[in-house]
Structure 1
């Protein structure tokens, strides 16, 4: 189309996307100017707004001290999220299992492992009956270490078991006795 067609009796040219956006911006600026608001590019005009105390609810520059806009530690953020969502109990239980060696020490962790945590009772399986007996005598110290690591109320008691003996029962039916004595010559 030529200029003569648009000015003459021909069909008018349709506005393009850029022209529509430019017209909308001009109308918005005119409306803001009519209300007495600052007319500029972007938000409430950057540095002047910060110095005058109008920007984002702050009083001015943050200075060298800690600020809410500073990067946060991942552990602090996940801790706040777990408290907000009500996951704190489950996270504490996971710490008991995940950091068992740090909680009870390397000597105990080498000979005993936690197996379950139900109703604030931690089940611990020892590798021998001697270790199970030793852990039963150390039960108050172990509970104190767990409370220091994850907080009070997560674990209130321990159930310590030793290794299980092999069972000679095979199948549904069996005869009472000590086992298959006749097969050992």
Structure 2
């Protein structure tokens, strides 16, 4: 080295600051203790996702749709099936007008059973829909009032 290089002032070494997200943060050391960075169980993670998104009631309702025969009975389930649920109203479709009438009579009992499964006040009304029927309002001579006494099927 030359004389000029030996007489020049030396630069101080820079101090290294710990990273803000590193293990040296105050109150958060690395080690054998569990923390948020550890792998989580799938059940815990899905439970947190469901509660964060507000999907708990939807999942319970769809669970009831899957267990419909055990809730209302096999015979009723063969002729009636739930189609939708929204704001406490359950819509159930029947395969005949006779079963629609029967389900309207059973509605208070079914509401009570559903509220036992879903929680009090979850289902307030059951709307019963009959089968999809053909319409007789076609053509020039169609009437607005339907066909009269022959308008029931099933």
Q: Answer whether TM exceeds 0.5 for this pair.
A: yes
- Partner of residue 120 from structure 2, selected from 142, 152, 158: 152
- Structure with the larger RCO, 1 or 2 (CA within 8 Å, 6+ apart): 2
Partner Cα separation in structure 1 for residue 90 and residue 75 of structure 2: 19
Q: Which residue of 2 aligns with 1:138?
A: 106
Matches within 5 A, 1:59-98: 74=43, 78-98=46-66
Partner Cα separation in structure 2 for residue 174 and residue 123 of structure 1: 34
Partner Cα separation in structure 1 for residue 120 and residue 64 of structure 2: 12
Residue segments in structure 1 that go unaligned for 5+ positions in a row: 1-42, 45-54, 58-70, 180-185
Q: Which residue of 2 aligns with 1:175?
A: 141
Q: Higher helix share goes to which structure?
A: 1
The answer on whether the counterparts of 2:85 and 2:91 sit within 8 Å (CA) in structure 1 is yes
1:121 maps to 2:89: yes
Q: How many residues align?
A: 112
In structure 2, relative to structure 1, the CA distance for the partners of 1:151 and 1:72 (3 Å cut) is farther
In structure 2, relative to structure 1, the CA distance for the partners of 1:73 and 1:99 (3 Å cut) is farther
**1:88 Cα shift?**
1.3
- Partner of residue 56 from structure 1, selected from 29, 33, 37: 33
Secondary structure in 1 matching 2:57: helix
The answer on whether the counterparts of 2:89 and 2:126 sit within 8 Å (CA) in structure 1 is yes
- Partner of residue 109 from structure 1, selected from 68, 77, 80: 77
Structure index of larger Rg: 1
